[in-house]
Amino acid sequence: MKRMEPRPDWSADTRHVYESDLVRWWDPSLEPHYYNAYHAFGESMVERVMRSGARRVLNVGCAQATLDLLLAERGVEMTSVEIRDGFLEYAKQRWERGEITWLLGDFFEMDVPGAPFDLVMSHHVIEHVADPLAFMKRAATMVKTGGQVLITTPNGGYMRSKLPTFVTSGELRRRGDFANSKDGADHIYAFTPGELRKVFEDAGLRVVETFTYESVAMAGHLKLRYLHRVLPAGVLRACESLAGLPALGTKLFANQVVVAVKNH
């Protein structure tokens, strides 16, 4: 994928996602903890999708489409959905090779050509959605029988999470005047692992794997971000293996993954 240089004609959204891309993907000297955490996440997700054998993948809420571009370069046929025009335009400018269908619009309302897909994924989107069960049911219609749905989202059980959990937020998620949020400051709630599993199951999907990722050290929280300037990234990544320990995995890891299969 191309490394972009800022242009005077960019919209505020495009400039915003470029600045995020610069910090998280291209320049480790700016904020090493963001760079290390995002690279660890990206490499893990690409490896997981490739290992699944999925050849046709839908990504809902692709943002700057880093994962989409990496997967397309590896031969995966990507369909990439984004609601923000400035983000999608930036993503298109980064493209160099591989097959990607770009779709601008609201996932709840738009036509998605190419369905059903081998795998549907969505990264850090469901916590912005007023009706996550409807979101998951819509995702389930987009995947073939035997295919997978993969969701990442903040971990509501993380010790530093200050958001209400999905259940404790109560009727907030059903407010008729609430429009789905589009950025990090507007997270509505964070799911505990059990809450997120139930949303999958209520959508008719069979959960086959759950795990947490991005330890407090990798995330750079509690001032541990300073370690990223002195320790090799590989040392910090070694902390990720602690996610398999039940108590630590829930409390000390900022994010979570759920993978489910559509049985029929």
- CATH code assigned at 38: 3.40.50.150
Q: What is the pTM of this model?
A: 0.93
Reported as a pLDDT band with limits 50, 70 and 90, residue 172 is: low
CB-based burial of residue 81 (10 Å sphere; 0-12 exposed, 13-18 middle, 19+ buried)? buried
Split into its structural domains, the chain has a count of 1
- Sorted by sequence, the CB contacts under 8 Å of residue 162 that are 6+ apart come out as none
Q: What integer best gives the mean pLDDT of the chain?
A: 92
* 246 found inside a domain: yes
* Cα–Cα distance for residue pair 183/180, rounded to 1 Å: 10
* 52 found inside a domain: yes
pLDDT beyond 90 at 182:
no
Q: Cα separations (Å) of 247 from 159, 191, 239, 252?
A: 11, 17, 14, 8
pLDDT score for 186? 63
- Sorted by sequence, the CB contacts under 8 Å of residue 164 that are 6+ apart come out as 172, 189, 190
Which amino acid would we find at residue 172? L
* 43 found inside a domain: yes
DSSP string for residues in 216-248: HHHHTTTTGGGGGGTS-HHHHHHGGGGGGSHHH
Widest CA span in the chain: 50
Reported as a pLDDT band with limits 50, 70 and 90, residue 183 is: very low
pLDDT beyond 80 at 185:
no
pLDDT score for 177? 46
* 90 found inside a domain: yes
Task: State which residues form the domain around 125.
Answer: 12-261
* 22 found inside a domain: yes
* 6 found inside a domain: no
* Cα–Cα distance for residue pair 30/26, rounded to 1 Å: 9
CB-based burial of residue 23 (10 Å sphere; 0-12 exposed, 13-18 middle, 19+ buried)? middle
Q: What is the pLDDT of residues 116-142, one digit of tens each?
A: 999 999 999 999 888 899 999 999 999
* Cα–Cα distance for residue pair 201/203, rounded to 1 Å: 5
Least confident of 46-55, 64-73, 182-191, 196-205: 182-191
Question: Scanning the structure block, which residue is given the tokens 């480790």?
Answer: 28
Helix (H, G, I), strand (E, B) or coil at 11: coil
Say how far residue 162 (Cα) sits from the centre of its chain: 19
What tokens does 141 get? 């219609």
pLDDT score for 168? 85
